[in-house]
Amino acid sequence: MSRGHFRSVSDPLLRLTPAHGLVAACHPGPTLAVTALVTALAAGSGRSIAACVGVALAVLAGQLSVGWCNDAVDAARDVATGQRGKPIALGLVSVRAVGVAAAVALVLCVPLSLLSGLPAAVAHLTAVAVAWAYNLGVKATVLSWMPYTVAFGMVPVFIAAGLPGSPWPAWWAVSAAALLGFGAHLANVLPDIDADLATGVCGLPQRLGARRVRALAPVPLLLAAALLVLAPPGSPGPPGWTALAAASILTAASWTFGARRPRAPFVTAIAVAAVGVALLLARGAGV
């Protein structure tokens, strides 16, 4: 073992069990955030408590499957690039265990999605399928943006399709969610562009390069916020205008400070995305 990979016996990571490693490998932060967001949208749409529980379980299973799939597929690359925060690369859990967990979660996602009805299940399973496609190779192509865009765009469809009569959500809700997905892809990849290029991952952001992505990342997120403020019927009111102003200021800050502070575009993109998510929760799925 090289000195660069030596870990002290007092290192708390060495005291973690495979179960801890499995939990860490599911990307718990994004998994819980997406589950909470979609469940909140379901509650806001008027679904019953039981229906919201079904939504939460389905989304949780789908997100677990995607997170575990991602770490299992990326295991060799994570080891090669010395990713210290990855449980498989640290030897906390095996590739096989994470792969099996991903498959089990994917299987469970099907009946759990059907709790919301067939139309809603089709929408949710489409989102999960494109996320798996991203992990399995699309992320290394010029179409790397498409799974994020489709998966996020399916969220209002999933929520609306689970209501009586399976109505179609408003166009602005689907469009804004899709733009949030596109922007999330750019922001998510931005910090790792150099490492991705070194290991042969050449999706759209990697092809554009870090400088262009820093400039572009906040734009779809700002457009999503603008849609959610301006497109729904009625006046946006002071909260809507305030949210749009905040998103605009954050975008301007990203462009102003991005060249001097490399992390500024990533941080501001996350902040603009948070504004968009808050607006999406306030506006609902457009049903």
User: How many whole angstroms separate alpha carbon 201 and alpha carbon 181?
Assistant: 19
By the 8 A CB rule, do 135 and 197 touch? Answer: no
What does the pLDDT read at residue 217?
85
Contact residues for 265 (Cβ-Cβ < 8 A; gap 6+)? 187, 190, 213, 214, 215, 217, 218, 254, 258
Q: Which of 38-47, 81-90, 198-207 has the lowest mean pLDDT?
A: 81-90
Average pLDDT, the chain: 86
DSSP string, 55-74: HHHHHHHHHHHHHHHHHHHT
DSSP symbols for 92-126? SS-HHHHHHHHHHHHHHHHHHHHTT-HHHHHHHHH
Band the pLDDT of 9: cuts 50, 70, 90.
very low
- Residue 3, judged by CB atoms within 10 A of its CB (0-12, 13-18, 19+), counts as exposed
Residues 113/125, Cβ–Cβ less than 8 Å: yes
What three-state secondary structure class fits 224? helix
pLDDT digits (tens, 9 = 90+) for 104-116: 999 999 999 999 9
Asked if residue 213 lies in contact with residue 196, where contact means CB atoms within 8 angstroms, the answer is no
pLDDT-based confidence at residue 263 (cuts at 50, 70, 90): low
Q: Is the dihedral of CA 187, 192, 194, 199 positive or negative?
A: negative
Q: Domains in the chain, ordered, with CATH?
A: 9-116 (no CATH), 142-287 (1.20.120)
Nearest CA to 184 out of 152, 138, 141 is that of 152
CB 116 within 8 A of CB 101: no
Which residues have a Cβ under 8 Å from the Cβ of 143 and sit 6 or more positions away? 204
The two three-digit tokens of residue 253, written as one number = 């800050």
**Residues 187-213, mean pLDDT to the nearest whole number:** 85
Q: What tens digit of pLDDT does each residue of 107-164 get?
A: 999 999 999 999 999 999 999 999 999 999 999 999 999 999 999 999 999 999 999 9
pLDDT in tens, 220-242: 989 989 999 999 888 888 888 99
For residue 79, pLDDT over 50 is answered with yes
Contact status, residue 228 vs residue 278, Cβ threshold 8 Å: no
Separation between Cα atoms, residue 236 and residue 268, nearest integer Å:
23
**Segment 177-199, tens digit of pLDDT:** 999 899 889 888 887 888 788 87
Give 1's pLDDT tier (boundaries 50, 70, 90). very low
169 DSSP 8-state letter: P
CA atoms within 13 A on the CB side of 223: 16
Angle between helices 118-135 and 49-73 (to 10 degrees): 20
Radius of gyration of the chain, Cα coordinates, nearest whole angstrom = 20
